[in-house]
């Protein structure tokens, strides 16, 4: 009997999360369950259910396997390029430099601009003869007649560059928030001991901002995996399906071809890929924290 008040005090904080958890279930699971059920319907007007024919059809397609590979390249390219630049930007933002204060507002512009609008801007920048990206790509490749949006590799590079431009501000804000919470005494003590700037970053800043980095990477990965509108606006998935990531394939199956069951199956693959990335990130960061 004497333990009851203690148990109630331990359970009471958990009960405060029930309203938020209930809303999460309502807005996440209610649309998810019918969507997954749709993926098991066989093609045709009657829609026989349940069936794995949609999954077997997709897994047997070379095109869909290429869609998944392009999605992986897209995610790795965006996250891998945005993370180091975001770390540099966040370190500059958290310093008391007057000339950098105005840059904090400018940093948010790529995220504030509507995705389709920024996609069309990048499309014009990579257009034929007059685009500045076209001139840059020709200079890098040494091909004077290069048309980036008609070459699969350079079109994919343009898509990654566009998402990199949009992702850096978000990652920077997460990392800057983490860096701002680190007590100055840590850096002052390390500097007194003779630690260099790189050593202070590696042994103080990076370990203490790991969770902020994990959240930022998860957010960017989720946005990139489900990104259909910007890729579709930039290239339409072309040329020759060379930039048709899985999200664009889902969009085409649902809205161009009316194959909603196939689109739902593709969506379940994207959901599984997102969960795999989440588990990979969390496992790697927890393992790194355990070694500290």
**Is the domain of 217 the same as that of 125?**
yes
Answer yes or no: is 46 within a domain. no
**Is the domain of 64 the same as that of 157?**
yes
Residue range of the domain that includes 11:
1-39
**pLDDT band for position 127 (50/70/90)?**
confident
**Is the domain of 18 the same as that of 63?**
no
pLDDT tens-place string over residues 103-121? 667 788 888 889 999 999 9
**Is the domain of 172 the same as that of 80?**
yes
Instruction: Please state, in angstroms and as integers, the Cα–Cα distance from residue 120 to each residue in 108, 154, 169, following that order.
Output: 19, 16, 20
> Angle at CA 193, nearest 5°, toward 190 and 196?
65
Q: How far is CA 250 from the centre of its chain?
A: 17
pLDDT tens-place string over residues 217-237? 999 999 999 999 999 999 999
pLDDT tens-place string over residues 139-160? 999 998 899 999 999 999 999 9
Instruction: State the Cα–Cα distance between residues 67 and 246, nearest whole angstrom.
Output: 5
**Is the domain of 196 the same as that of 58?**
yes
pLDDT tens-place string over residues 26-78? 777 777 788 778 888 765 555 555 678 889 899 999 999 999 999 999 999 99
Q: Which residue has the higher pLDDT, 31 or 82?
A: 82
**Is the domain of 59 the same as that of 17?**
no
- In terms of Cα–Cα distance, which of 280, 284, 270 is closest to 74? 270
Answer yes or no: is 47 within a domain. no
**Is the domain of 67 the same as that of 7?**
no
Instruction: State the Cα–Cα distance between residues 148 and 38, nearest whole angstrom.
Output: 38
Answer yes or no: is 20 within a domain. yes
Radius of gyration from C-alpha coordinates of the chain: 23
Answer yes or no: is 44 within a domain. no
**Is the domain of 25 the same as that of 85?**
no
Q: Is the pLDDT at 209 greater than 60, yes or no?
A: yes
Using the structure block, give the residue that is written with the tokens 């701002």.
180
| Interval 176-195 mean pLDDT | 89
Answer yes or no: is 77 within a domain. yes
Instruction: State the Cα–Cα distance between residues 246 and 243, nearest whole angstrom.
Output: 9
Count structural domains, the chain. Answer: 2
User: Does residue 275 sit in helix, strand or coil?
Assistant: helix
**Is the domain of 166 the same as that of 202?**
yes
Q: Are 167 and 223 in contact (CB under 8 A)?
A: yes
Query: What CATH number is associated with residue 199?
Result: 1.10.3720.10
The predicted pLDDT at position 291 comes to: 60
**Is the domain of 140 the same as that of 18?**
no
Q: Are 221 and 277 in contact (CB under 8 A)?
A: yes
**Is the domain of 261 the same as that of 206?**
yes
pTM over 0.75, yes/no: yes
**Is the domain of 260 the same as that of 179?**
yes
Q: Are 215 and 73 in contact (CB under 8 A)?
A: no
């Amino acid at each position: 009997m004497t333990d009851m008040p203690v148990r109630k005090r331990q359970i009471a904080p958990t009960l405060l999360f029930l309203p938020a958890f209930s809303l999460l279930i309502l807005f996440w699971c209610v649309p998810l369950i019918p969507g997954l059920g749709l993926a098991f319907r066989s093609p045709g007007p009657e829609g026989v259910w349940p069936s794995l024919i949609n999954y077997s059809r997709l897994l047997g397609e070379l095109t869909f396997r290429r869609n998944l590979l392009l999605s992986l390249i897209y995610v790795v390219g965006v996250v891998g390029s945005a993370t180091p630049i975001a770390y540099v930007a966040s370190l500059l933002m958290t310093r008391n430099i007057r000339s950098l204060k105005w840059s904090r507002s400018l940093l948010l512009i790529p995220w504030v601009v509507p995705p389709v609008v920024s996609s069309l801007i990048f499309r014009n920048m990579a257009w034929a003869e007059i685009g500045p990206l076209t001139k840059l790509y020709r200079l890098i490749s040494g091909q004077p007649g290069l048309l980036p949006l008609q070459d699969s590799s350079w079109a994919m590079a343009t898509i990654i560059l566009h998402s990199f431009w949009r992702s850096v501000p978000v990652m920077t804000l997460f990392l800057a928030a983490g860096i701002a919470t680190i007590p100055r005494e840590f850096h002052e003590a390390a500097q007194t001991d003779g630690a260099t700037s790189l050593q202070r970053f590696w042994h103080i800043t990076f370990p203490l901002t790991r969770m902020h980095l994990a959240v930022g990477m998860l957010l960017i990965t989720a946005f990139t995996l489900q990104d259909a509108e910007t890729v579709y606006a930039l290239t339409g998935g072309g040329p020759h399906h060379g930039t048709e990531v899985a999200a664009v394939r889902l969009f085409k199956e649902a809205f161009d071809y009316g194959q909603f069951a196939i689109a739902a199956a593709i969506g379940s693959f994207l959901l599984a890929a997102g969960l795999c990335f989440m588990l990979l990130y969390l496992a790697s960061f927890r393992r790194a924290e355990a070694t500290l």
